[in-house]
C-alpha cells in the first residue's frame, strides 16, 4: 500500500524559542546549554541558533569548546518548562491535520497522512499549510520531509533546513537515497561507518550493491536492516502516542480581538471540536483549561476541576465561558484563545447516574 508520511522537525528549537521571546537575541549566535563559565564550564550545547552554527558550534558539543569558538555568543540555560509547553501547542496543531502522530522528541514527530492526502501534490500543499500554521501561531519555523516511509521522511526533513520542505515520491526513493553517505542511515554510527568505509562502502548506492548475505555475515541483524534501508524498504508504521493526557483546540486570530462576543463564539466552536475528539476516543474529562494569549504574547491558563466528568460540547463550553468571564482582562486584545480538557477517564463511567456540580 502506498503511504504518505510527514516527518516534522522544528528548526534549532530551543534557540529559536529564545530568539522569539527575546527580540534582542534575533540574528545573534544563541547557545542553549550548560553554563560556559568563561570557557571552564562542563556539560554540552543542547541547541544553538543558525547564527551560532556559522562559528562551527553544534548540539552535543562541549560547552567549553563552543565558548572557544564564539566567546561573544549569548549563552542561556535551557527552560524546559517553556519548551515543553511550546511542544504541546505544536502537537495541538498536528492534531488538526491527523490523529496518527508519533512524537520522536520534544521537537519532532512522524505524522501518518495516509487518510489526509490523496496524492503527492496535495501532500505538498498540506505540508505547506502545516508549516504556515506553526509559523503563524508560534512564529517558529519547521522543516518537513514527505515520503512513503519513516526513514526516508526523516532524511528528507533534514536536507533543506531551516524552513525546508522536501517531497520524495515513491518512484524517486531510490534515486534520492543512492548518492547519500551511509551515515544518513538509521543504525549507522561512527563505528559502523568506519567498518563500511574499510569495505569500500561510502554511499547508499554502494551499500545496496553489496551482497546481502555477505552483509548479514559481517554485521548480523544490523546487516540485513541496512541492506533493507539502502533499498528503500521500511514498512514500520507510525505508532500513535499512548492515550492522551489532554485534548485541546486553540486558534490564533488573524487580527487581535477585543470583542467578547467573538471570543465566546470562538470558544463555543473550539469546545465542540474538543467534545468531538473526546467522544471519538470514548473519554470524558474532569478538568477544563482555558488559555488566553494577549497581543504582547503574555499567556495565561486557568483551569477548573469538576467533581464529575463531562464530555458534551455545551458542558465544556459553559465551564470555559465562566473561566473567560472571570479571568480575562477585558481591556487587552487577545491573540490566541484555546480550550482543553484533562484528567481524562473512560467515558463508560458516564453510564452511571451522576449529578454534575460545577465549581465544587
Q: Which residues of this chain interact with Mg ion, rule CB under 5 A?
A: 9-10, 13, 107
Nearer to Mg ion by Cβ, of 18 and 107: the residue is 107
- Which residues are paired to 284 by β-bridges? 345
Nearer to Mg ion, 10 or 188 (CB): 10
Smallest gap from residue 49 Cβ to Mg ion (A): 12
Question: Closest Cα partner for 113 from 167, 184, 174, 159?
Answer: 167
Residue 299: exposure state from Cβ atoms within 10 A (0-12, 13-18, ≥19): middle
Query: Three cell numbers at 175?
Result: 534515486
Q: By C-beta, is 141 or 303 nearer to Mg ion?
A: 141
Using an 8 Å Cβ cutoff, are 178 and 203 in contact? yes
What is residue 250's DSSP assignment? E
Measured CA to CA, the distance from residue 271 to residue 10 in angstroms comes to: 28
Three-state secondary-structure class, residue 119:
coil
**Catalytic residue among 108, 137, 250, 311, which?**
108
- The Cα–Cα gap between 238 and 251 comes to 27
Helix, strand or coil, per DSSP, at residue 44 = strand
Nearer to Mg ion, 11 or 268 (CB): 11
Cell of 168: 520524495
Compute the least distance from the CB of residue 50 to Mg ion, in Å. Answer: 12
Cis status, amide bond into 263, omega within 30 of 0:
no
Backbone angles phi, psi at 22, to 5 degrees: -130, 85
Least Å from the CB of residue 13 to Mg ion:
5
CB nearer to Mg ion: pick between 107 and 112: 107
Q: How many CB atoms lie within 10 A of CB 326?
A: 10
Distance, in Å, from the CA atom of 69 to the CA atom of 231, rounded to the nearest integer, reads 40
Active site residue 108: yes
CB of 137 to Mg ion, least distance (A): 17
Nearest approach, Cβ of 352 to Mg ion (angstroms)?
A: 46
Give the catalytic positions in this structure.
Answer: 108
Amino acid at each position: 500500500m502506498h503511504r504518505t508520511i510527514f516527518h516534522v522537525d522544528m528548526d534549532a528549537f530551543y534557540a529559536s524559542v529564545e530568539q522569539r521571546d527575546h527580540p534582542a537575541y534575533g540574528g545573534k549566535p544563541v547557545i542553549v546549554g550548560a553554563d560556559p563559565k568563561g570557557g571552564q564550564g562542563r556539560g554540552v550545547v543542547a541547541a544553538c541558533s543558525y547564527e551560532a552554527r556559522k562559528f562551527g558550534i553544534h548540539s552535543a558539543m562541549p560547552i567549553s569548546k563552543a565558548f572557544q569558538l564564539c566567546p561573544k555568543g549569548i549563552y542561556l540555560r535551557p527552560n524546559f518548562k517553556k519548551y515543553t509547553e511550546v511542544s504541546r501547542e505544536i502537537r495541538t496543531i498536528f492534531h488538526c491535520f491527523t490523529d496518527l502522530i508519533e512524537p520522536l522528541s520534544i521537537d519532532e514527530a512522524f505524522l501518518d497522512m495516509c487518510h489526509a492526502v490523496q496524492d503527492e501534490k496535495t501532500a505538498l500543499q498540506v505540508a505547506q499549510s502545516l508549516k504556515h500554521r506553526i509559523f503563524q501561531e508560534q512564529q517558529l519555523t519547521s522543516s518537513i520531509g514527505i515520503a512513503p516511509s519513516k526513514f526516508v521522511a526523516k532524511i528528507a526533513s533534514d536536507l533543506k533546513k531551516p524552513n525546508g520542505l522536501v517531497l520524495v515520491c515513491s518512484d524517486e526513493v531510490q534515486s534520492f537515497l543512492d548518492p547519500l553517505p551511509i551515515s544518513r542511515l538509521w543504525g549507522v554510527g561512527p563505528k559502523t561507518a568506519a567498518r563500511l568505509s574499510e569495505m569500500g562502502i561510502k554511499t547508499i548506492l554502494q551499500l545496496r550493491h553489496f551482497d546481502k548475505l555477505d552483509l548479514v555475515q559481517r554485521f548480523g541483524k544490523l546487516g540485513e536492516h541496512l541492506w533493507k534501508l539502502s533499498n528503500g524498504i521500511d514498512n514500520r508504521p507510525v505508532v500513535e502516542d499512548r492515550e492522551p493526557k489532554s485534548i485541546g483546540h486553540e486558534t490564533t486570530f488573524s487580527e487581535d480581538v477585543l470583542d467578547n462576543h467573538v471570543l465566546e463564539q470562538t470558544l463555543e466552536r473550539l469546545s465542540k471540536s474538543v467534545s468531538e475528539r473526546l467522544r471519538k476516543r470514548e473519554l470524558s474529562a474532569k478538568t477544563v483549561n482555558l488559555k488566553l494569549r494577549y497581543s504582547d504574547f503574555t499567556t495565561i491558563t486557568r483551569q477548573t476541576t469538576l467533581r464529575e466528568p463531562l464530555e458534551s460540547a455545551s458542558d465544556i463550553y459553559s465551564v470555559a465561558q465562566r473561566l473567560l468571564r472571570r479571568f480575562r482582562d477585558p481591556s487587552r486584545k487577545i491573540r490566541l484563545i484555546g480550550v482543553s480538557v484533562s484528567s481524562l477517564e473512560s467515558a463508560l463511567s458516564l453510564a452511571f447516574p451522576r449529578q454534575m456540580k460545577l465549581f465544587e
